[in-house]
Amino acid sequence: REGGLEGDVGESVKQEDGVSVSLSGLREQSRQAYLEKREARELELLEQAIRDEEELFSGQEMTERERKDLAMRKEILRMAKNRGGEEEDDAGGYRLPDGFIDEDGMINKEKKESVLTSRYKDDVEEKGEMELWQEEQTKKSQMGFGKKKKDEKEYDFVFDDAIDFVVTETKKGKNKKGKESDDVKPDEPEEPVAKGLTDHEKILVGRKKLPVFAYRDEFLEAVAEHQVLIMVGETGSGKTTQTPQYLHEAGYSKLGKIACTQPRRVAAMSVAARVAQEMNVKLGNEVGYSIRFEDCTSPKTIVQYMTDGMLLRSFLTEPDLKSYSCLIIDEAHERTLHTDILFGLVKDIVRFRKDLKLIISSATLDAEKFSSYLDDAPIFMIPGRMFPVDILYCKQPEADYVDAAVVTTLQIHISQDIDSGDILIFLTGQEEIEQCAETLTMRTKGLGARIPELIICPVYANLPADQQARIFMKTPPNSRKVVIATNIAETSLTIDGVCYVIDSGFAKQKSYNPKTSMESLVVTPISQAAANQRSGRAGRTAPGKCFRLFTAWSFKNELEANTIPEIQRTNMGNVVLQLKALGINDLLSFDFMDPPPAECLMRAFENLYALGALNDRGELTKLGRKMAEFPLEPMLSKSVIIAEKYGCVKEVLSMVSMLSIGASVFYRPKDKAVHADTARLNFARGGGGDQISLLRCYTEWEDSGFQTQWCFENYVQSKSMKKARDVREQIAGLCERVELEETSCGVSDFEKVLKAFTAGFFFNVSKLARSGDYTTVKARHTVYIHPSSCMAKDEIPADFLVYFELAFTTKEYMRQVAPIKGEWLTELAPHFYNEAD
C-alpha cells in the first residue's frame, strides 16, 4: 500500500493521482508562500523586541501587565509563524493585518484591538481582551495524560493543540534472565566512581555492566566450538560494540580481520568511533570503518565496521574473503537487500573456508529462521533486562505527525518530572527531523527560562560527526534531552537514558511497483514488529512510556505484522545485475533465504536482455558491467551510459537527476497560479516535453549559480533542486569511475537527449491511436497523459510518446512524457521491437 494510512494519518502522505506526495513537499509550498508575505519583516521585529525585553527583564520582577503583554506577543508570534494556510484557520493561525507590528516591534494598539475583536467578537467589551485570550488558551490546554501540578498553570499557554492519548496496554518487563516479570527492579544506585579514574577507565567499568559481559566466556566457547552462530539479544546489550572486541581479545584478530556489517552508514561510523574509544586507539588504525565513498581503515586495522553493501563489494575483489577471520552480519533482522544477498554468499563461503567464523546477530527473537537457513546453526541468547513500558495511542488520528511529535514532546517535557528520562522521537528522514528540531527550538525559546532546558539532538545520515557525538552525551541535571531520529535508533544505535518514545508510525522504505518497473523511497507505515521494537527503546533503564501518534485501531488493522524483506519489494533488475557482476550466473538456484518470486527474476532477465545488459546466454555484457556500477534503476543507468554515444552525458545526467528525486519541482501557490503557470510554460516552450522542461529548468538554475532567489522567481522548489544537485553529483562521480566522459550537446539539441532517454525507456512508449487516445506499443493498453504534464494541452498530439512512469488512479496516466519518433524504436531496441510493432 503506497502512500500511508488513509483516513488515519491521511494528511501526512497524501494520495494525489496515485503518486504519493510527501508532506514535506506540501510543507515546503506553504513555507514558501509564507516567505513571500510582507509579514516576515514584521515578525522579525516582533521577535527582536521579545528578545530585547527578555534581556531587559532578566532577573527582575515584571508587573502582571508586563508579563501578560510579553506572553501575548510571544503567542502572537508563535501563531503567526505556525500559520500554514492562507486564511486564519481554526488551528489558531493568525494572519497579521497590515501594520500590525510597529517599527519598534510592538503590537500596534489599534490593530491589536481589531484582531482581538474579530476573534472574540461579542465578549470583548465585557471582559478584558487579555483575560479572554488566556481563558481560551486554558480551555485548549487540557492535557490528555499525566498529573498536572498546580505551579504548571503558567505553562498553559504553551498548548493550543494538546493531543489526547489513551493508555491501552503495558508491555511487560523482563528480568535479568530475560523472563517476563511484573517486578523488574531498577539498578542499585550507582556506586560513586572511585576518584582518580580516567575517562578511559570509566569506559572500561561501563563495558562490564553491559548484559553481554556476563556471557563473554560462554560466547567465546560457543564460537570456538561452532563455525556458525546465531546471536540474539535486545538492543543495547552490547552485541555490536563488544563481541568484535571479545573475538579480538581471544586472538582471532591474529588470523585475520574481524568484520562487522551494518545496514546503515551512520551506524557503521558511530559504532566504530565508540569501539576505537573503548580500545583506546585512533579511529582508522586498529579500529576502522568502510562505507561507500569513504574508507577509514589502514593496514593496521583488525576490527572493521562496514556497511553490508561494502562487504558485498569485497566479494568482487576477494572472492574467498581470506583477509578476514570472523564475519559478523549484524542487524540481520532488518533483512536489507544487501544483507539477504550476503546470507547466500557467506553460506557458501563457510563450506570451503572452515577457518572462517560466521556470526549472525539479530535484535529480535525470530532467530529460528536464520538457524534453519544456516544448517541448524546454534542460537546464542543474551538475556537482557527490560522494564515495563506503557503504550499510549492517540485517541484521534493526527493529521501531521511532525507537528504532533512536537506537541507531545512539550507535553511530556512539562508534565513529567524533569529527571524522569529523555525523549526519543522516530520520524522518517532528514527533512522532517530538521523541521521538528526547528519547531521545537522555536517553541521552547518562546518560553524562555520558564521551562527546564530541552536539549535537541537530531540524528540522520549526513550529520557532522561532532553533532553525532552529542546524542550520546549524558544529560545534565535539570534538563532533558530529546533525540530525533530515523529508524536508525530502532536497533542500530542505543541511547542510554531514554524513557519516552514518540513514534510517528512511519519509515522511509524502498518500494517497487512491478507494473511500472519503478522503485522509489516512499514514506510507508511501519510494521507491528517495528513499532514494538521502537517502544522497547523506552524501557532500557527504567519503566517508560511510548506515545504512538496513531490510533490503537490503526495499529491492529492497518499495520503489517512484520516488515517484508527488502528483496521481495525491490526491483530485481538491480539485484540480478549485482549478482551477475559477482560472477553468480545461475540465479534461479541461488540460495536465497526468502527467494524473490521466480517470475520477477524472469522479468528482470528479459528486461536486462532487452536493455543489452545481458547477452543471449544470460551473461553480463560490457554495458551491463558498467550499469552495475550505478545505484540507479537499470533503465536510468542505461540512459546515462548510452548518452556518451550521442555526446550528451551532461544533459542526461541533469535530466535523470531531476527525474529521480521523486519530488515535485514546480510550485504553484493558489494566489499566484497564473504567474506560476507562465513560469512553467517558459521551460516547456521550445518543445521536448516534460523531460526537456526539467532539463531546461536545471540548466537555467545552474546558470544562475544555483541561486535560491532564482527558484523563488521561477516558482521552483529550491529544496527539490538541491536534492537533484546532490543526486547529480553522486552519479557524476560514478561516471568518472566507469570512465564516462561528461560530453555536452547543449539543451537546444534536445533530440539527442531524448534518444538517450528512449534507449533506456523504450519499454514505456505509447502510440497515438485512431481514436485519439494513446495505447502502449507492446501491450496495447490505453493510457492517458497526466494532467500535470506540459503536453496535456498540446493541440497537435505527438504520434509517439515516451513516458517515465505510469500512475494508477481513475485512469492509467503517463507521467513525464516526451514526444519521440517511431523509427527510433527499432534502432534503439532491436531486441524488443521489430518493424511489425
Site for ligand ADP, rule CB under 6 A: 210, 233, 235-242, 270-271, 273-274, 472, 494, 496
**Alpha-carbon span 750 to 651, nearest angstrom:** 9
At closest approach, how far in Å is the CB of 285 from ligand ADP?
18
Non-local (6+) Cβ contacts of 432 within 8 A are 23, 24, 402
CB 246 within 8 A of CB 382: no
* Among the residue ranges 10-18, 142-150, 237-245, 808-816, the one whose residues contact Mg ion (CB under 5 A): 237-245
- Which one, 265 or 650, has the nearer CB to Mg ion? 265
Q: Which does 210 bind (CB under 5 to 8 A by kind): Mg ion, ligand ADP, none?
A: ligand ADP
Q: Which does 270 bind (CB under 5 to 8 A by kind): ligand ADP, Mg ion, none?
A: ligand ADP
Q: Which does 520 bind (CB under 5 to 8 A by kind): ligand ADP, Mg ion, none?
A: none
Beta strands in 173-254 (DSSP E): 173-174, 180-181, 228-233
Backbone phi, psi, residue 675, to 5°: -60, -45
How many residues at the interface with Mg ion, by CB under 5 A?
A: 1
- Which one, 22 or 242, has the nearer CB to ligand ADP? 242
Q: DSSP letter at 386? A: B
- Which one, 242 or 717, has the nearer CB to ligand ADP? 242
Backbone phi, psi, residue 329, to 5°: -90, 100
- Which one, 540 or 723, has the nearer CB to ligand ADP? 540
**Alpha-carbon span 498 to 389, nearest angstrom:** 12
CB 752 within 8 A of CB 646: yes
At closest approach, how far in Å is the CB of 212 from Mg ion?
10
Non-local (6+) Cβ contacts of 797 within 8 A are 768, 772
**Alpha-carbon span 558 to 568, nearest angstrom:** 20
- Which one, 271 or 652, has the nearer CB to ligand ADP? 271
Q: Rule CB under 5 A: is residue 240 a binding residue for Mg ion?
A: yes
At closest approach, how far in Å is the CB of 488 from Mg ion?
11
Q: Rule CB under 5 A: is residue 237 a binding residue for Mg ion?
A: no
At closest approach, how far in Å is the CB of 572 from Mg ion?
29
At closest approach, how far in Å is the CB of 641 from ligand ADP?
40
At closest approach, how far in Å is the CB of 387 from ligand ADP?
14
What residue has cell string 519503478?
518
- Which one, 211 or 634, has the nearer CB to Mg ion? 211
Q: Which long-range contacts (CB under 8 A, 24 or more apart) does 28-33 make?
A: 28/667, 28/717, 28/719, 28/720, 29/667, 29/669, 29/717, 30/84, 30/85, 32/667, 32/669, 32/712, 32/717, 33/86, 33/669, 33/671
Give the per-residue contact string, 676-695, with Mg ion (x = CB under 5 A; - = no). --------------------
At closest approach, how far in Å is the CB of 267 from ligand ADP?
8
Q: Which does 125 bind (CB under 5 to 8 A by kind): Mg ion, ligand ADP, none?
A: none
- Which one, 239 or 545, has the nearer CB to ligand ADP? 239
Non-local (6+) Cβ contacts of 480 within 8 A are 413, 418, 421, 422, 423, 452, 453, 454, 455
* Among the residue ranges 106-114, 240-248, 595-603, 657-665, the one whose residues contact Mg ion (CB under 5 A): 240-248
Bridge partners, residue 456, by sequence? 482
At closest approach, how far in Å is the CB of 259 from ligand ADP?
15
CB 258 within 8 A of CB 325: yes
Q: Rule CB under 5 A: is residue 637 a binding residue for Mg ion?
A: no
Non-local (6+) Cβ contacts of 449 within 8 A are 58
CB 8 within 8 A of CB 550: yes
Beta strands in 417-486 (DSSP E): 422-426, 453-458, 479-485
- Which one, 57 or 472, has the nearer CB to ligand ADP? 472
- Which one, 230 or 817, has the nearer CB to Mg ion? 230
Non-local (6+) Cβ contacts of 582 within 8 A are 312, 315, 316, 345
- Which one, 267 or 608, has the nearer CB to ligand ADP? 267
Cβ-closest residue to Mg ion?
240
Q: DSSP letter at 292? A: T
* Among the residue ranges 163-171, 177-185, 238-246, 659-667, the one whose residues contact Mg ion (CB under 5 A): 238-246
H or E element, residue 391: strand 389-394
At closest approach, how far in Å is the CB of 381 from Mg ion?
15
At closest approach, how far in Å is the CB of 139 from ligand ADP?
43
Q: Which does 237 bind (CB under 5 to 8 A by kind): Mg ion, ligand ADP, none?
A: ligand ADP
- Which one, 283 or 523, has the nearer CB to ligand ADP? 283
Which residue type does 353 have?
Answer: R
- Which one, 241 or 693, has the nearer CB to ligand ADP? 241
Q: Rule CB under 5 A: is residue 242 a binding residue for Mg ion?
A: no
CB 718 within 8 A of CB 708: yes
Which residue type does 37 have?
Answer: K
- Which one, 235 or 439, has the nearer CB to ligand ADP? 235
What residue has cell string 563489494?
313
At closest approach, how far in Å is the CB of 166 from ligand ADP?
31
Give the per-residue contact string, 549-588, with Mg ion (x = CB under 5 A; - = no). ----------------------------------------
Q: Which does 494 bind (CB under 5 to 8 A by kind): Mg ion, ligand ADP, none?
A: ligand ADP
Residues 596-625, interacting with Mg ion (CB under 5 A):
none
**Alpha-carbon span 719 to 552, nearest angstrom:** 35
Q: Identify the CA nearest to 277 among candidates 196, 199, 210.
A: 199
- Which one, 509 or 533, has the nearer CB to ligand ADP? 533
Q: Which does 241 bind (CB under 5 to 8 A by kind): Mg ion, ligand ADP, none?
A: ligand ADP
Count H helices, E strands: the chain?
A: 29, 26
Environment class of 678 (CB within 10 Å of its CB; exposed 0-12, middle 13-18, buried 19+):
exposed
Q: Which does 325 bind (CB under 5 to 8 A by kind): ligand ADP, Mg ion, none?
A: none
Which residue type does 2 have?
Answer: E
At closest approach, how far in Å is the CB of 363 from ligand ADP?
6
Q: How far is CA 179 from CA 237, 537, 732, in A?
A: 15, 18, 53
At closest approach, how far in Å is the CB of 260 from Mg ion?
9
- Which one, 105 or 536, has the nearer CB to ligand ADP? 536
Give the per-residue contact string, 193-232, with Mg ion (x = CB under 5 A; - = no). ----------------------------------------
Q: Which does 513 bind (CB under 5 to 8 A by kind): ligand ADP, Mg ion, none?
A: none
At closest approach, how far in Å is the CB of 805 from ligand ADP?
39
- Which one, 494 or 654, has the nearer CB to ligand ADP? 494
At closest approach, how far in Å is the CB of 262 from Mg ion?
8
Beta strands in 164-246 (DSSP E): 165-171, 173-174, 180-181, 228-233
End-to-end Cα, the chain, rounded Å: 34
Q: Rule CB under 5 A: is residue 339 a binding residue for Mg ion?
A: no
Backbone phi, psi, residue 619, to 5°: -95, 155
- Which one, 239 or 569, has the nearer CB to ligand ADP? 239
Backbone phi, psi, residue 497, to 5°: 90, 0
At closest approach, how far in Å is the CB of 325 from ligand ADP?
20
At closest approach, how far in Å is the CB of 468 from ligand ADP?
8
Where do contacts with Mg ion occur on this chain (CB under 5 A)? 240
